[in-house]
Every structure is written in structure tokens, then in C-alpha cells.
Amino acid sequence: MTLQKEDYPICVQFDFEKGEFAPFQSKAERRVSDLAMMFADSEAAAALVKNGDPLVYEIFYYGFTTSVSDMALGVTRIQPGTIGGEYHMTKGHFHEAHDQPEIYFCVKGEGYLLMETLEGEFRAHQWNKGTISHIPPMWAHRVVNTGSEPLVFVASYHLAAGHIYEPVVEKGFAQRVIDEAGKPVFKDNLQRR
């Protein structure tokens, strides 16, 4: 096979202090205004949007696309905090392709990985630095930062996976993670229609 420019090995450097890597190809920010619909307390979210619209998480991205493969790397850094008592979390999504899993590796902070199927099977992994989770195909996934420091995780997946957010926007996850006197508590999601 004749190698193309993109077929040569590449590495990037992870900074454990900052919780990011370089070089990256793109970076996206998610603020309260991007996520307000995911939190139970819409008034608390609206007040935060008016009051500076704080950053909730960032995603650093690199697509290691070659002429025959589509491996992607994403590092997500979730700031600590709550919105109406509910801990900061990612939006959460399903993979569009039904045969596409993902690996998540928590490298900093503490929290939970929530996973749920369309049929309503729900699982949560408690995370601290060093936890590696396998998300099987067809399980929606969301990460919640319950600590007082940023939570950072590395994601590895194929671009063929695709992302679908609608079912999560529509129904949320079965359980919410709430701060009660400084401790995370799981509560049924009462907004489920």
C-alpha cells in the first residue's frame, strides 16, 4: 500500500495538570445556555445565563483519520458546580450507529458516568482518577462532575459512531445527581414524560 500523508503515526501530549492536550484540532465550549434544557431547575439555569453564562465544560478534539480508519480522540474538562442543586454534567448522547462503543478514561476529578438504553436499562459507574469505562453500543452516556475540582476524561471512539442528542434532550436520563449537603445523591428524574 502506498502511504498517504495522513497514514503516518501521530502523537499529542497530554498535560495532567491542566487536563488538556496539545496540539488539538478543535475545541468546543458548552455554557449554561447550551445546556439549560438538561437541568431540572430551568429558573436557576436562566438566572445563571443572565449572570455571565458560565462555562460548564470544554471538549478538545483530534481526529486521527487515515485513508482507511477514523479513530477520534476527545478530552472533556467539566468545571465543578451545580445548577439548581444538580451537578454540572455533559449533555449526553447516543451513538447514531448501532455497533459503535466508546472508551472513557477518567484522568482527573470525581463523579459518575451515567448510561442508559432506549428501553430504560440504567447503569452508573462511580468515577475517580484512573477509572476506565467501556460504553457498549446503544447506551446513551453522560458524565457528571460531583467534585470540587474539574473532572477530566479521555474519550476514544470512531467517527463512524455519529452522535444523536434528541432522545436525551427529550427524556433525559432516568436519574439525576443532586448535591445534598455537599454529597451526591441519585434521584429519579421527575421530568420524565
* Residues between 65 and 124 that touch Zn ion (CB under 5 A): 102
Which residue, 26 or 42, has its beta carbon nearer to ligand S6P?
26
Strands 102-108 and 94-95: unpaired
Q: How far is the CB of 157 from Zn ion (least distance, A)?
A: 6
CB atoms within 10 A of CB 13: 8
Q: How far is the CB of 94 from Zn ion (least distance, A)?
A: 8
Residue 90 engages ligand S6P in binding (rule: CB under 6 A): yes
Q: How large is the greatest C-alpha to C-alpha distance in the chain, in angstroms?
A: 61
Which residue, 39 or 94, has its beta carbon nearer to Zn ion?
94
Which residue, 31 or 85, has its beta carbon nearer to ligand S6P?
31
Strands 111-116 and 140-145: antiparallel
Out of Zn ion, ligand S6P, none, what residue 76 binds, judged by CB under 5 to 8 A for its kind, is ligand S6P
Lay out the site mask for ligand S6P across 55-84 (x = CB under 6 A, - = otherwise). Answer: ----x--------------x-x--------
Q: In sequence order, what E strands does the chain have?
A: 13-15, 20-22, 26-31, 55-65, 70-78, 82-83, 86-87, 94-95, 102-108, 111-116, 122-127, 132-135, 140-145, 151-158, 163-164, 175-180, 183-188
Out of Zn ion, ligand S6P, none, what residue 150 binds, judged by CB under 5 to 8 A for its kind, is none
3-class state of residue 78 by DSSP: strand
* Residues between 124 and 163 that touch ligand S6P (CB under 6 A): 141, 155, 157, 161, 163
108 near 19, Cβ under 8 Å? yes
Residues that bind ligand S6P (CB under 6 A): 59, 74, 76, 90-93, 102, 141, 155, 157, 161, 163
